Structure formats: C-alpha cells, structure tokens
Amino acid sequence: MGIKGLSKLIEDVAPRAITRRDIKYYCGKRVAIDASVLLYQFLTTIQDSNGNPLTNSSGEPTSHLVGLLARLQHMLEAGIKPIFVFDGAPPEEKGGELDRRRDLKEQAEEEREKALAEGNMERARMLTKRMVRVTQKQVEQAYTLLKHLGIPAIIAGGEAEAQCVALVRAGKCDAVASTDMDTLALGTPILLRNLASSKDPTVIEYSMSIVLEDTGLTQEEFIDLCILCGCDYLEVLGGIGPKTAYKLIGKYRTLEAIIQNDAKVQEQVRLQEGRWEFTRARALFTKPSVIDPETLDKDLIWRPIDSEKTIAFLVDDMQFSLDSVKERVQKLQKARRNPKQTTIDQFVKRKTKP
C-alpha cells in the first residue's frame, strides 16, 4: 500500500518538490532499485492474452526475467548504474497488511473462477493480475541473473525500500527508485518513480528537502503525517484522509497531540482497541532493520558480464531461446561500454527562484 494518497497530497501542497526529467538526466548516477516491487510489476504487466504471466515449456513463469532484462538494458543505455535491492524478512508489524493482501488474492481467485464459468474473459484477466505473488524462487532467479550479468544485487536486512534509503544516506547511491512513497518517510533525499517504464522516458523525481521546506514540516512531523494518512504497519483510521491528516499535523505537530485534542481521531483510535500502536510504526520509519551499508562495499562492485553463466542459466535452466539470449547479452555488453545518453546537468543542485 505504501502511504495512502501521499503523491497527490505532495502534488497539492508542495508541487515544487516534483520534477519531471528525461531518463538521460541520470546518466552516471548510482540508483538503488526496489527490486521486489519491480518483479511484481513485471509479473502483472508482461502477460499472455489470457492475463497470465509468460511461462516456459515447463509452465514456469518467466515474465519477471523478461522484464528485468528489458528494463536493465533500458537503464544501462541511459548510463544509469542500478543497484538492485530485494526484500529480506518483513517486520512483524506488517503482518496485518500482508494478511490483508493474501485475503484479497484468495478472493480474486474465487471471483476469477466464477468469471471463467460465466465466460467473462475480460474480468477473468483483470482478476488474474490481482492473484499474482512474487515467490522466493522468482526472487532467487532474478538475483542469480543479476549476479551473472555483473550487476550489484543485495538481499536487504528487512524491507528493500529501507535498505535502498540507507544506501543513499550513506553515500553509496545517489537516489532511490521505487513506486512506494514510504521511501520519503524513511528519509531518502531523492525518490525516482517511473524509472523502469519501457514506454515513457519521463522520470518523476521527488525532492525530500523541498517537501519539508514547502510544507514547513520536520522529518519527524512528516513521518507522523504518513502514519496518519495510512501506512503498511497500521490500520487506516476511518474518515481521516490525507488532506485532513495534513491539517491536523500542521495544527498539532505530533500524533500524541492530535490524539489528545481531536475528538474524531480519539474515537477512531479507541475503535482500534489498542491495535493502533503508532509509536511502533514510527520506530519502523526512524530505525528500520537494515544491513550497515559500510559492510556492503564488496556487494556493490560492478563486475564483467559472465556470458557463459548467463546463457547457461537463461537457456538451460529457464528455457529461453539461445539466439534471443545471445542477442540480449550483446546489447547489454554494448550498453555498459557505450551508454546512448549523456548529460552534464548536476543531479542535486537546482536553480532556485529569487
């Protein structure tokens, strides 16, 4: 879920924090990629005519690898240096959100069977997308492929987006690329969305410093805003949307003060019967479980493409076409040697209006 309604809220109250750039602007930049989100996108968008992920002759899904190869080439040709980060163990507090997602997938499966029985193929295809899960095996396959291609890839200490932010804050990367807006609550200076799109070269960049400047919030107050909007760690409070949350934070500054002074919030918290433990959610944003970036230097090294291992994995293990794999490897090698795009623009520095 990320942070409910946050992108629209920032667009409304701090539009200066959002910049749309061509992907070539990020040439030469190290970008921490939230890989787990990316794999899910590939499995739900790269599909056959029935709405199912692509599979090999053994029935094993391959959409996640097809998408990964295509998007990797797209980024390398733009001169970007991606570092892929996969989810580790989720925090206990996210269990409720994961259970909710599991229930929705099971419900979608039941509705899909009904749609198929009724001959409603369009609805069946839509419901198939809701059933998609990224399995541990698919994560391992993507990780193996990246290692063979010499691309840095790591398994996070906890959630991938938190590890991505830690890499940026430690100076190991220049930005985080993710669709999840909670990376801003986690403290990334720069968030990039739409970086992996194959159809649109426009990247949406969010500057956290400008968000704070234009809203007048501190990072701590912004975290409380995100919790009140609705995050993965707590149930959403009824009747409290992003605009209301923003007004309440602006008036009272902390969740403690809001709960103490706002009757509507008090009642919604009471209805949670002790489950709305915002202090624990706050701690997950301020002190998430991550691997110390200073211990990861050897994992962040770019290495030459191992063509032999790449071809063996994709052709022998995953049953890709030999000719198509050889062609893709050649394109990736060329992209790493000679990116198509270059830029002399500065990444962080901006001209401010007088």
pLDDT in tens, 211-255: 999 999 999 999 999 999 999 889 889 999 999 999 999 999 999
Query: What local confidence, expressed as pLDDT, does residue 68 receive?
Result: 97
Query: What local confidence, expressed as pLDDT, does residue 7 receive?
Result: 97
Query: What local confidence, expressed as pLDDT, does residue 103 receive?
Result: 56
Do 279 and 141 belong together in one domain? Answer: no
The first and second tokens of residue 24, run together, are 């070539």
Query: What local confidence, expressed as pLDDT, does residue 24 receive?
Result: 93
For residue 336, tell me if it sits in a domain: no
- Distance CA(228)–CA(241), nearest Å, equals 8
Query: What local confidence, expressed as pLDDT, does residue 110 receive?
Result: 61
Query: What local confidence, expressed as pLDDT, does residue 196 receive?
Result: 77
Query: What local confidence, expressed as pLDDT, does residue 118 receive?
Result: 66
For residue 318, tell me if it sits in a domain: no
Which residue reads 């929705």 in tokens?
A: 104
- Widest CA span of the chain, in angstroms? 67
Query: What local confidence, expressed as pLDDT, does residue 334 receive?
Result: 96
Residues 6+ apart with CB under 8 A from 56: 62, 318, 319, 320
State how beta strands 202-207 and 190-193 pair.
antiparallel
Domain count along the chain: 2
Do 238 and 207 belong together in one domain? Answer: no
Contacts 24+ apart (CB under 8 A), 153-156: 153/35, 153/83, 153/84, 153/85, 153/86, 153/299, 154/83, 154/84, 154/85, 154/86, 154/291, 154/296, 154/299, 154/300, 155/85, 155/86, 155/87, 155/88, 156/85, 156/86, 156/87, 156/88, 156/290, 156/291
Q: Which of 229, 253, 287 is the last residue of a domain?
A: 287
Query: What local confidence, expressed as pLDDT, does residue 165 receive?
Result: 98
* Mean pLDDT, all residues of the chain: 88
Query: What local confidence, expressed as pLDDT, does residue 278 receive?
Result: 95
Q: Are 46 and 233 in contact (CB under 8 A)?
A: no
Query: What local confidence, expressed as pLDDT, does residue 338 receive?
Result: 84
Positions of E strands within the chain = 18-22, 30-34, 81-86, 153-155, 175-177, 190-193, 202-207
Query: What local confidence, expressed as pLDDT, does residue 354 receive?
Result: 35
Do 151 and 260 belong together in one domain? Answer: no
Do 203 and 244 belong together in one domain? Answer: no
Q: Which of 188, 215, 242 is the last residue of a domain?
A: 215
Query: What local confidence, expressed as pLDDT, does residue 117 receive?
Result: 67
CA dihedral 26, 32, 36, 37 (to 10 degrees): -40
Low-confidence stretches of the chain (pLDDT < 50) are: 93, 95, 97-98, 341-354
For residue 351, tell me if it sits in a domain: no
Q: Which domain holds residue 38?
A: 1-215
Do 6 and 85 belong together in one domain? Answer: yes
Do 113 and 247 belong together in one domain? Answer: no
Do 198 and 227 belong together in one domain? Answer: no
Query: What local confidence, expressed as pLDDT, does residue 342 receive?
Result: 44
